[in-house]
Amino acid sequence: MLSYRHAFHAGNHADVLKHIVLVLTLEYYQRKDKPFWYIDTHAGVGLYHLNSSEALKTREFTHGIQNLWSASNTPDALHLYLNLIRQLNAQPTLEHYPGSPWIAANVLRKTDQLRLFELHPTDFTALENNLGYDKRIQISKQDGLKGLLGLLPPITRRAVTLIDPSYELKTDYADVISTLIKAHQRFATGTYMLWYPVIERQRIKQMIHALLQSKIAGILQIEYCPLADNAGIGMTGSGLFVINPPWLLAGQMQSALPWINQQMANSTGHFTVTYITPEKTT
């Protein structure tokens, strides 16, 4: 179980993984001129202060983005992501970390659109204050899993969706898979990124089994764990299931993760980049 308020976790190893994958996916989508939507089902506040009482209580960022902030010889796949972090901070001080909505808003073009969902009343207000000025963005105070289905298929027929719940409830694991399958049935050509925490390995196996049963082709699993699996110590890592990933993504992450592991992990760190269902054939 994780705390719903993301301010406690901002900039941790899970954010680093999730946001690198997000940036690479959004960057790839812009290779075509046609506009697209970015949909975020659990948007949070959009921007986090690492000197806040919440962030300092856990200091998870010190084991995440802090380790990459001043690193040298960064892989090419990380350049845009790290440049976005630098836009927010004057070196050598690391005080701010962006959430996925801020990242998307600063990567997307004027012709692209963002659809953000946030149910927590305080976080919804903060999100509006941080990003509500942007005319490309629509923010809804609504359950993002239900809201997502109401948007599909998008009028652009191109969309990148991030599903990133807190997994506070054990039922969340089944609910997100069910929503993902329904979303794919409504809009099969979109790219979907489902983030998950590694707390109990058995739950990840159950998610994979359900995805295999769905018969959805070409699901890429990207996982990074700074610590060895241990159900007794909380989140040891995290991962994403990516449906319809950019064709470059697997190779980019296979190249980047060894370097990331060197910066952030101890000797027990491990990662995987693999297709859990066969890629589509033409």
Asked if residue 143 belongs to a known ligand binding site, the reply is yes
Q: Is 100 annotated as a binding residue?
A: yes
Looking at residue 4, its pLDDT comes to 54
Signed CA dihedral, 250, 264, 204, 117: sign only = negative
| DSSP for residue 276 | S
Residue position matching structure tokens 């921007």:
47
pLDDT, tens digit, for every residue of 211-248?
Answer: 999 999 999 999 999 998 887 778 999 999 999 999 99
| DSSP 8-state assignment for residue 62 | G
Output the CA–CA distances (angstroms, integers) from residue 186 to 192, 222, 240, 276, in the order listed.
12, 24, 21, 22
Question: Which of 71, 73, 70, 127 has the alpha carbon at shortest distance from 104?
Answer: 127
Active centre residues (catalytic): 164
Question: Rounded distance, CA 144 to CA 41, Å?
Answer: 4
Asked whether residue 58 is assigned to any structural domain, the reply reads yes
| Token pair for 151 | 């948007």
How would DSSP label each residue in 233-251?
SS--EEEEEEES--TTHHH
Give the model's pLDDT for residue 266.
66
267 belongs to a structural domain: yes
Q: Does the annotation flag 200 for ligand binding?
A: no
Q: Which has the minimum average pLDDT: 62-76, 141-155, 190-204?
A: 62-76
Q: Give the per-residue pLDDT at 1.
A: 43
Average pLDDT of the chain to the nearest whole number: 92
pLDDT band at 52 (very low <50, low <70, confident <90, very high): confident
**What is the pLDDT, as a whole number, of residue 169?**
85
Q: How far is 199 from 207, CA to CA, in rounded Å?
A: 13
210 close to 179: Cβ distance less than 8 angstroms: no
Residues pairing with 113 in the sheet:
37
- Structure confidence at residue 170 (pLDDT): 85
Specify burial of residue 163 (Cβ count, 10 A radius: 0-12, 13-18, 19+).
buried
Distance (Å, rounded) from C-alpha 277 to C-alpha 258?
24
CA distances from 107 to 132, 175, 227, 239 (A): 16, 30, 31, 22
Instruction: Please give the pLDDT value at position 5.
Output: 67
Report how many domains make up the chain: 1
Tokens 């018969």 belong to residue: 215
Annotated ligand binding at 42? The verdict is yes
Closest to 38 in 3D by CA, of 85, 134, 107: 107
pLDDT at residue 281, as a whole number: 57
d(CA 268, CA 228): 5
Write the pLDDT tens digit of every residue in 21-48: 999 999 999 999 999 999 999 999 999 9
- Residue 282 domain flag: no
Asked whether the predicted pLDDT for residue 123 surpasses 70, the reply is yes
pLDDT tens digit string along 253-264?
Answer: 999 999 999 998
Task: Tell me: pLDDT of 280 over 80.
Answer: no
User: Which residue in this structure is represented by tokens 């630098």?
Assistant: 86
For residue 122, pLDDT beyond 60: yes
Structure tokens at 96: 């701010």
The annotation status of 269 as a binding-site residue, yes or no, is no
In a domain, 139, yes or no: yes
In whole angstroms, give the CA distance from residue 183 to residue 144.
12
Query: Does 64 belong to an annotated binding site?
Result: no
Residue 281 lies in a domain: no
* CATH number, position 18: 3.40.50.150
Task: State the pLDDT at residue 58.
Answer: 77
For residue 1, being part of any structural domain is answered with no
Examine residue 183 and state whether it is found in any structural domain, yes or no: yes
pLDDT digits (tens, 9 = 90+) for 62-86: 888 999 988 888 999 999 999 999 9
pTM of the model: 0.95
Nearest partner of 177 among 216, 141, 151, 142, judged by Cα = 216
Contacts 24+ apart (CB under 8 A), 76-85: 77/20, 77/24, 77/252, 77/253, 77/255, 77/256, 78/20, 78/256, 78/259, 78/260, 80/23, 80/24, 80/27, 80/107, 81/19, 81/20, 81/23, 81/24, 84/23
Residue 70: per-residue pLDDT: 80
Q: Which of residues 78 and 266 earns the better pLDDT score?
A: 78
164 is in an annotated binding site: yes
Per the domain annotation, does 280 fall within a domain?
Answer: no
Residue 93 domain boundaries? 6-275
